[in-house]
Amino acid sequence: MNEAFLPFAVPCIGEEEINEVVNTLRSGWLTAGPKTQQFEQEFSTYVGMPYALTVNSATAGLHLALEAIGVGAGDKIITSPYTFTATAEVARYLGADPIFVDIDRQTFNIDTKKLAHALATTTGIKVISPVHFAGQACEMDTILALAKQYQLKVVEDAAHALPSQYKGRLIGQFGDVTAYSFYATKTVTTGEGGMIVTANPEYAKRMKIMRLHGISRDAFDRSSSSLPSWYYEVVAPGFKYNMSDIASAMGIHQLRKAEALRQRREAIAKQYTEGLQGLPLTTPYVAPDNVHAWHLYVIQLTLEALKIDRNLFIERMKMERIGTSVHFIPLHIQPYWKERYGFEPEDFPIAYDVYQRAVSLPIYPDMTDAQVERVINATRRILTGALR
């Protein structure tokens, strides 16, 4: 047995992306320009939201969203600890603090009952930041109702959620601002990159200024004919968060394929869920109202029935030449967050327990049915050989 190593994640890049990037390189325009404008227009149409702004990462997008809303020193944002550190670190950029609320064991998303309780008992919260884990939409009806009740803004971390739907509508149409990631492993990629969408013209204007050094384009827009082309005005100490035309060239074609790529991942998820029946593990749950983006396929090992733990399972998968991963190491056990707020693992018991059982299996469109079967068979072999 000497099969090639099956990587955990591989981007799905076609000739269209390659040709568009090459054309961009030959065009003489590399930074944000015509391709970026086209990518933003197509994205805005795709999600059905008036403003879509490219950025160089989802992290940048989340930061810009909180800044535009006016989150500042002493404010709080409320989110889940079962996420990537970016969701929470952007609050710290602005001197604000994240408040964590435990997750639902089935969906890995923020538990809206616990969210309601936290909102009723905590002051100073400005923003709810739901994370659509793995591409499964959060309970947006409840979250929006709570936001309305407490007069909070909603900034969605949709890094996994392109394209995801909640009750027949795409994620991106719910919150005040939604941020997507085009990091190399995500469902749609530009290598590095992101997009922020909003329906709020004030937020859009502020995020546009702050993504490029606080430079205001209003002077150009108002009377472009009478102002020289070299002229600009700096109105704030902004950031350097814009996307290049090289990245946008990829994004244009990735976006057009987004639903086809999702469908292939959904087929893989179905093959996994059928093939993994009867084993000491829980396969992912899909809420009936959701169309799942399937960025991740996360199983939870039934440790009580096994002689091995999650880490050993991952080691054995590696010996079978299969790459896996863990999403996520909860933030409250990471040194920075743990030390800053004095967290104990049991402060968020579901997040901590799920973390110890979670294994992300490879799920990307270019995987063949035979490769998916190989993962199923290896999982079966390892787990049946490790039964208590």
Ligand X SMILES: *Cc1c(COP(=O)(O)O)cnc(C)c1O
Which of 35, 153, 186, 208 is catalytic? The answer is: 186
| Binding of ligand X by 293 (CB under 6 A) | no
Q: How far, in Å, CA of 131 to CA of 134, rounded?
A: 9
Please report, as residue ranges, which positions from 160 to 179 form the binding site for ligand X (by CB under 6 A).
160
Of the residues 102, 104, 111, 157, which one makes contact with ligand X according to CB under 6 A? 157
| Binding of ligand X by 188 (CB under 6 A) | no
* Residue of 240, 375, 268, 356 whose CA lies nearest to 309: 356
- Judged by beta carbon, residue 83 or residue 379, the one nearer ligand X is 83
Contact predicate 66/77, CB 8 Å: yes
Region of 24-32, 95-103, 156-164, 309-317 interacting with ligand X (CB under 6 A) = 156-164
* Residue of 170, 172, 180, 177 whose CA lies nearest to 295: 180
- Judged by beta carbon, residue 11 or residue 194, the one nearer ligand X is 194
Q: Tell me if residue 113 is catalytic.
A: no
| Binding of ligand X by 59 (CB under 6 A) | yes
Contact predicate 360/296, CB 8 Å: yes
Q: How far, in Å, CA of 118 to CA of 159, rounded?
A: 24
Q: What are phi and psi of 323, to 5 degrees?
A: -85, 135
Please report, as residue ranges, which positions from 338 to 367 form the binding site for ligand X (by CB under 6 A).
none
| Beta strand segments in 345-388, E | 358-361
Structure tokens at 89: 């670190």
Q: How far, in Å, CA of 312 to CA of 163, rounded?
A: 33
Of the residues 96, 140, 159, 207, which one makes contact with ligand X according to CB under 6 A? 159
| Binding of ligand X by 129 (CB under 6 A) | no
Distance of closest approach, residue 54 Cβ to ligand X, in angstroms: 12
Q: How far, in Å, CA of 163 to CA of 65, rounded?
A: 20
Please report, as residue ranges, which positions from 86 to 105 form the binding site for ligand X (by CB under 6 A).
86-87
| Binding of ligand X by 183 (CB under 6 A) | yes
| Binding of ligand X by 320 (CB under 6 A) | no
Measured CA angle at 331 (ends 330, 336), to 5 deg: 145
- Judged by beta carbon, residue 179 or residue 317, the one nearer ligand X is 179
Of the residues 24, 54, 136, 181, which one makes contact with ligand X according to CB under 6 A? 181
Q: What single-letter amino acid sits at 254?
A: Q
* Site track 19-58 with ligand X (rule: CB under 6 A), x = hit: --------------------------------------xx
Q: Cβ–Cβ contacts within 10 Å for residue 252, how many?
A: 21
Contact predicate 156/174, CB 8 Å: yes
| Binding of ligand X by 130 (CB under 6 A) | no
Catalytic amino acids?
Answer: 186
Residues that bind ligand X (CB under 6 A): 57-59, 83-84, 86-87, 131, 157, 159-160, 181, 183, 194
